[in-house]
Amino acid sequence: MTLRCFVIGHPIAHSRSPLIHGTWLEQHGLDGSYERIDVAPSELPGFVARIRAGAFAGGNVTVPHKEAMLPLLDEVSAAARAIGAVNTIWCENGRLYGDNTDAAGFLGHLDAIAPGWQERVRTALLIGSGGAARAIAYGLKSRGVARIILANRGRERAKELARVLGAPLQARDWDERDALVGEADLIVNTTSLGMKGQPPLALDLARLRPGTLVDDIVYVPLKTALLTQAQQRGGVIVDGLGMLLHQAVPGFARWFGVTPAVTPALRARLERDILGA
Ligand SMILES: NC(=O)c1ccc[n+]([C@@H]2O[C@H](COP(=O)([O-])OP(=O)(O)OC[C@H]3O[C@@H](n4cnc5c(N)ncnc54)[C@H](OP(=O)(O)O)[C@@H]3O)[C@@H](O)[C@H]2O)c1
């Protein structure tokens, strides 16, 4: 029987998850499918009922359902509970389970690019405090990063995130971000700034120390202006496509029973798609 999986969101037309999972299905010769399904917020409970009835093995959940899905599940992983959102769900014997793999995806890519990074990273500076920042801060805390600074345009949101996840998170003012660059061993842009069609992230890298890791989770374009500038100043750059690829691994393993690899060929396929967009 074909195992059917999905990515749901609203809108969903631009999701690249079908290309990732489709590549793995093809590579492993599995009898499975992974489809993009547009589900409006009012349709979410009805869609969940279809999953419970056995129409799907599981799938990914994206904007605007990542938080709304939580109370509809039977069991939620510790990561998803702490992050307050799910992006991966699966059904077993009529019970629905949820996880959030964004933290694992972020860390998986960082591990691949800069093995042993956590021995060098004492202070992390996160620009932004939205959903992605929450997952990344949770992941960095789980790896024992000693100081995690949040600089968000809206200070209250940063303060709230620091309160929810606790020490070693701390909120600082948006206007302090340029000065904080000099204190950071890892800088992450978790905002949508720098994405195609958005203004660039205004961050002055004059104080960047050579060897500092600079990670931009935006992946369209593949190399944002932030990454280009960081590289010119001796930073070690980490792009957002790697996080997207790595966050997909646990879901595929759960639904199809095979742990897929993030290979250069998969990455090249996604790069072609992004460049052609
Ligand atoms: N690579 C990956 O796998 C991956 C995974 C998840 C997300 N992402 C990307 O990460 C980005 C953020 O996603 P999210 O889910 O965290 O979104 P979100 O919850 O809506 O948060 C957006 C963040 O961006 C900030 N922001 C937006 N416009 C801004 C502006 N003009 N000036 C300053 N700050 C601004 C917001 O600040 P305020 O609080 O002040 O509004 C907030 O901190 C998106 O581009 C998404 O595609 C990538």
Return the ∠ at Cα 41 (arms to 38 and 46), rounded to 5°.
Answer: 80
Do residue 30 and residue 91 come from a single domain? Answer: yes
Report the SS3 class of residue 226: helix
How many C-beta neighbours within 10 Å does residue 162 have? 20
φ, ψ at 276 (rounded to 5°)? -80, -10
* Strands of the 88-92 sheet, one edge to the other: 32-38, 3-9, 58-61, 88-92, 95-99, 75-76
Mark whether 227 and 256 lie in a shared domain.
Answer: no
Residues enclosing ligand 1, CB less than 6 A? 102, 105, 128-133, 152-154, 157, 190-193, 195, 217-219, 240, 243-244, 247
68 shares its domain with 119: no
Whether residue 129 sits in one domain with residue 93: no
Q: What is the pLDDT of residues 123-178, one digit of tens each?
A: 999 999 999 999 999 999 999 999 999 999 999 999 999 999 999 999 999 999 99
Residues 255, 221 share a domain: no
**pLDDT of amino acid 1:** 83
Based on the fold, state whether residues 155 and 258 are members of the same structural domain: no
Nearest CA to ligand 1 atom 44: 192
Whether 126 and 179 share a structural domain:
yes
Same domain, 220 and 251: no
For the stretch 33-48, pLDDT in tens is 999 999 999 999 999 9
Both 14 and 27 in one domain: the answer is: yes
Expressed in angstroms and rounded, the spacing between residue 189 Cα and the centre of ligand 1 is 9
For the four alpha carbons of 245, 249, 251 and 255, in that order, the dihedral sign comes to positive
Asked if 22 and 112 sit in the same domain, the reply is: no
State whether 225 and 133 are in the same domain.
yes
The CATH number given to whatever domain includes residue 69 is 3.40.50.10860
The CATH number given to whatever domain includes residue 159 is 3.40.50.720
How many Cβ atoms from other residues are within 10 Å of residue 139's Cβ? Answer: 21
Cα(187) to ligand 1 centroid in Å equals: 15
Catalytic site positions: 66
Structural domain containing residue 152: 104-238
Confidence grade of residue 267 (pLDDT, cut at 50, 70, 90): very high
- The domain total for the chain is 2
259 and 233 assigned to the same domain: no
